[in-house]
Structure 1
């Protein structure tokens, strides 16, 4: 994930910054508890495409 692009992206729900998780290829927003997929190097920032973080994932940093 390009660091310049990541610096510009925010969660569409909370407007909080996103954190890239290379293990799952997702952009994570801890404020909303959602993980947005990255498909073919393109972030899919749609709430309907996001998955909810587990309690363990929310606490991990």
Structure 2
């Protein structure tokens, strides 16, 4: 099962700027359009915890 498009429309980064997220279905991640935090999607559930997010430098 994939993430619901309506859910993707309302999800935002949990950091203070609350920027929109982009979804990468192949990588099963959501990425903040402002700060670049990368959040995993596990079992079709977005894990929007800053403590578990990867930063762009972690992904490199």
TM bin (shorter chain):
0.7 to 0.9
**Residues 1:31 and 2:34 aligned together:** yes
Q: Which runs of 4+ in 1 moved over 4 A?
A: none
Task: Compute the RMSD of aligned alpha carbons.
Answer: 1.5
Listed as ranges, the matches of 1:17-56 within 5 Å are: 17-54=20-57
Q: Counterpart in 1 of 2:7?
A: 5
Aligned length: 55
Q: Counterpart in 2 of 1:15?
A: 18
Per the alignment, in what secondary structure is the counterpart of residue 30 of structure 2? strand
Q: Distance in 2 between matches of 1:31 and 1:23?
A: 21
Unmatched 5+ residue regions in structure 1? none
Unmatched 5+ residue regions in structure 2? none
Q: Distance in 1 between matches of 2:29 and 2:41?
A: 5
